[in-house]
Amino acid sequence: MKKVLFDFNGTLFFDSDINYIAWKETIRELAGDRIEFDQIYPQYRSVRNEAFISAVFRSLDMPEDPEKIRYWAKRKETEYYQNYCRRNKRNKLASGAAELLDLLKERDILFNLCTASIKENVDFYLSYLGLNRWFDIKKIAYDDGTFINKVEMYRSAAERIGADIQDCLVFEDSPKSIKEAIEAGCRNIIAIKRKDTPDFKEIVQTIRDFTEFDRNLLEDHDL
């Protein structure tokens, strides 16, 4: 059977609108009207929080103080993203996701989470969204400050469950992260359909949500 790696934001949990709002409020608080948010956001929407904040600091000609960058990276999540989810009761995974995770667990198929989120958000996902039913924080690959990019995260996520990345089926939505999964060595990707979903040979199926996933792709045959 294939081992499985899941991205989270935009994959297991459809939260593009939440991230947009949270980032807009964060940048408004940090920069006021000195930055045109809708011009800078598309450039950094799929990067790690600290990379986005660093870019904002540079745009404002502010010294890139690591402590201040970490503060704003966390504030975006704890003050804006998480509070929005609670206020608006946004706590449901993508359609069919819970059923697929239950199936993997029932069939003893190894799987893991690989997310560019920081620990504060991973803890939030595990508790508020109930991911602790399926995932172990000790194995999850997330932005803990030790990874240069998601290429390294994907390799680590596979290693932490004793898998070779080439034998893993990866669920991902971001074109940038799909490229990074391929660079990491993944040959089998399920892409969550977006307007900008790339056309790579490694993408074996494109789905709107997990109800459309072809479970035959879990089998160990040449895709």
pLDDT, mean of residues 190-199: 94
The answer to the question of residue 20 being in a domain is yes
The answer to the question of residue 209 being in a domain is yes
Q: Residue 44: pLDDT above 90?
A: no
139 Cα distance to chain centroid: 15
Q: Looking at the structure, do residues 136 and 162 belong to the same domain, yes or no?
A: yes
Q: What are the C-alpha distances in Å from 41 to residues 16, 52, 118, 181, 215?
A: 12, 9, 19, 23, 35
Q: Looking at the structure, do residues 97 and 206 belong to the same domain, yes or no?
A: yes
Q: What range defines the domain where residue 37 resides?
A: 16-87
Give Cβ neighbours of residue 44 (< 8 Å, ≥ 6 apart). Answer: 51, 52, 55
Q: Looking at the structure, do residues 141 and 205 belong to the same domain, yes or no?
A: yes
Share of the chain above pLDDT 70, in %: 99
The answer to the question of residue 223 being in a domain is no
Q: Looking at the structure, do residues 99 and 186 belong to the same domain, yes or no?
A: yes
Q: Looking at the structure, do residues 160 and 198 belong to the same domain, yes or no?
A: yes
The answer to the question of residue 45 being in a domain is yes
Q: What is the CATH number of the domain that holds 210?
A: 3.40.50.1000
pLDDT, mean of residues 2-24: 96
pTM of the entire structure?
A: 0.91
For 130-154, what is each residue's pLDDT tens digit? 999 999 999 999 999 899 899 999 9
- According to the model, what pLDDT value does residue 223 have? 47
- According to the model, what pLDDT value does residue 220 have? 80
